[in-house]
Amino acid sequence: MRSPRIPLALLPLLVIAADAPTAATPTVRRHVITEAHGSWPLPLPPGFRPRWISVANAGSNDVVAPRLSANGRPDWFSTSEILAAILAPGMSEREKALAIWRFLVDHRYHDAPAHSGLEMHDPVRFLNVYGYGFCDDSAVNFMVLAEQAGLRARVWGLSGHVVPEAFFEGNWRMLDPDGKIFYLEDDGRSIAGIKTLEQRPDLIRKHPSPFYRDSAKLIAIYCSVDDNRLSENYRRQSEATHTMAFTLRPGESLTRHYDNWGLYFAGEKSPRPPKATGPERFGNGRFVFEPIFADGVFALGAEQVDSLRAMRDGSGWSLTSNDATGSLVYRFAGPYPFLDGAVHLAGRGRFSLAFSETGESWSEIWVSGPAAPVNATVPLSAHFRTRHGNPMYAYYLRLTVHGSVRALRFESDIQVAPASLPALTPGDNTLAYRDASAPGRRVRLEFAYDPSVPQND
């Protein structure tokens, strides 16, 4: 695993993680929550740098849809929660459109998109997993958010650029999140639409884009009327269906890092060359699952258990096959794409592992040697898609046991968008936690940070 790559923009963000490699030992704060709603006061020093936060199921029941937010700000769990973070009661249509535009300007950036799949045009996946894309990705996500907010919206293809429009104040108005620009008409207030800009290159020249600095090129793109097209195809290639819900089994944790160790998805249809460096800013994280053998808890989160039982083994517990051979199947699923992983196993006997994306067709990936003590780490990286197709959000592992397992740990590495994580600031902070679990939860939170960062860092 490579060393973390520090993002270029060091924003005061809360991030989630566990044991990724770091350059120095951070300060770690811990808190336990046992109710459906809880809060955690978290004072932080000036100049701190957030490293990670860990959300772990430390109980014996499933933790369903755990969510964290900070300082009263909504999280980005769903499209409605994203809009709650953007909009305020009583906003006019103009204010809504400008607020959505500003939000996208601030929380995504221009870079080669990870792939061309439908999820790039779902705000939840786009903003929580990636946070970067080209102009069409920003334009379509603007359209989706605007329509979910009750506005009329559409997307233009300009043969060289893609921009959205929203309808308010009696006309269509163009607000370009990717170019970080909109253009004012002569009254200094009305926002121009495409039809006005086609005839008014002076407005484009008067209000230069802070991102697309070649005004002459922009004028040529807008004013070449014959190749400006409204594109309903972008609406067909958009959705607002995903949430960031997931379930933590007993012994399982979600981790997200502020930095990364170089794992990112780039499908073959991504414009990013295969040997190019990664996105400008992205994060990595990890799901870790260590099944609890005691009292048979390991079976609660399994898809299938055959001829296996938990037994006391000295001062601890082991997983033992009842007959000649037992088997255990787990499904791993979440709202973040799986890019790498490993299985750590210790025990005595003969073991094998098989991998499946669907739970139906299996590929054997590892077989232990003759019956003997086993202490093995089995890499899974070859079985995840990182450079072709669309990313993988679920997979299955089947462990076959002839003997006993003393320790078992599953790791699944993921990609996350750091800007999606709750923001923390120096001074007093309040972390808010909530989930949809049944009573009896026990959730352990850990937040790690560097106490101070040199000014020239």
In this prediction, residue 191 carries a pLDDT of 98
Could you report the per-residue pLDDT of 384-434, keeping only the tens digit for each?
999 888 999 999 999 999 999 999 999 999 999 999 887 899 999 999 999
Question: 361 and 415 share a domain?
Answer: yes
Residue 328 located in a structural domain: yes
In this prediction, residue 339 carries a pLDDT of 97
Q: What average pLDDT does this structure show over 107-119?
A: 93
In this prediction, residue 277 carries a pLDDT of 75
Assign 290 a pLDDT band (cuts: 50, 70, 90).
very high
Both tokens of residue 178?
Answer: 């990717």
Residue 1 located in a structural domain: no
Whether pLDDT at 5 is above 50: no
Whether pLDDT at 203 is above 70: yes
Residue 21 located in a structural domain: no
Question: 333 and 402 share a domain?
Answer: yes
Q: What average pLDDT does this structure show over 182-203?
A: 97
In this prediction, residue 377 carries a pLDDT of 97
In this prediction, residue 313 carries a pLDDT of 82
- Neighbour count for residue 297 (Cβ, 10 Å): 18
Name the domain boundary from 202, 236, 270.
Answer: 236
Whether pLDDT at 289 is above 50: yes
Both tokens of residue 370?
Answer: 């003759």
Indicate the pTM of the whole model: 0.90
CB 30 within 8 A of CB 446: yes
Assign 372 a pLDDT band (cuts: 50, 70, 90).
confident
Question: 278 and 199 share a domain?
Answer: no
Question: 133 and 220 share a domain?
Answer: yes
Name the domain boundary from 210, 236, 262.
Answer: 236
Whether pLDDT at 4 is above 50: no
Question: 206 and 296 share a domain?
Answer: no
With a pLDDT cut of 70, the percent of the chain lying above it is 92
Question: 304 and 207 share a domain?
Answer: no
Residue 4 located in a structural domain: no
3-state secondary structure labels for all residues of the chain: CCCCECCCCCCCECCCCCCCCCCCCCEEEEEEECCCEEEEECCECCCCEEEEEEEEECCCCCEECCEEEECCCCCCCCHHHHHHHHCCCCCCHHHHHHHHHHHHHHHCEECCCCCCCHHHHCHHHHHHHHCEECHHHHHHHHHHHHHHCCCEEEEEECCCCEEEEEEECCEEEEEECCCCEECECCCCCCECCHHHHHHCHHHHHHCCCCCCCCHHHHHHHHHCHHHCEECHHHHHCCCCCCCCCCEECCCEEEEEECCECCCCCCCCCCCCCCCCCCCCCCEEEEEEECCCCHHHHHHHHCCEEECEEEEEECCEEEEEECCCCEEEEEEEEEEEEEEEEEEEEEEEEEEEEEEECCCCCCEEEEECCCCEEEEEEEECHHHCCCCCCCCEEEEEEEEEEEEEEEEEEEEEEEEECHHHCCECCCECCEEEEECCCCCCCCEEEEEEEECCCCCCC
Provide the pairing of β-strand 283-289 with 392-416.
antiparallel
Domain count, the chain: 2
Assign 271 a pLDDT band (cuts: 50, 70, 90).
low
Q: Which domain holds residue 291?
A: 27-70+246-450
Q: What average pLDDT does this structure show over 110-125?
A: 94
Question: 220 and 357 share a domain?
Answer: no
Could you report the per-residue pLDDT of 209-267, keeping only the tens digit for each?
999 999 999 999 999 999 999 999 999 999 999 999 999 999 999 989 989 999 999 98
- Separation CA 61–CA 159 (nearest Å): 54
Both tokens of residue 447?
Answer: 């937040």
Range scoring the smallest mean pLDDT among 153-162, 368-377, 380-389:
368-377
Both tokens of residue 322?
Answer: 């009842």
Name the domain boundary from 185, 208, 236.
Answer: 236
Question: 217 and 256 share a domain?
Answer: no
Could you report the per-residue pLDDT of 6-43, keeping only the tens digit for each?
332 223 333 333 334 445 789 999 999 999 999 999 99
Residue 19 located in a structural domain: no
Whether pLDDT at 329 is above 60: yes
Return the CATH number at 207.
3.10.620
Assign 337 a pLDDT band (cuts: 50, 70, 90).
very high
Could you report the per-residue pLDDT of 43-59, keeping only the tens digit for each?
999 999 999 988 999 99
Both tokens of residue 12?
Answer: 């005061």
Question: 252 and 347 share a domain?
Answer: yes
Question: 177 and 228 share a domain?
Answer: yes
In the block, tokens 């929550």 appear at: 33
Question: 270 and 404 share a domain?
Answer: yes
Strands of the sheet with 67-70, listed across from one edge? 37-41, 430-434, 67-70
Residue 10 located in a structural domain: no
In this prediction, residue 32 carries a pLDDT of 97
Residue 18 located in a structural domain: no
Residue 85 phi, psi (nearest 5): -75, -20
First to last CA, the chain: 24
Residue 2 located in a structural domain: no
Return the CATH number at 359.
2.60.120.260
In this prediction, residue 114 carries a pLDDT of 94
In this prediction, residue 132 carries a pLDDT of 96
Chain centroid, CA 262 distance in Å: 15
Question: 377 and 426 share a domain?
Answer: yes
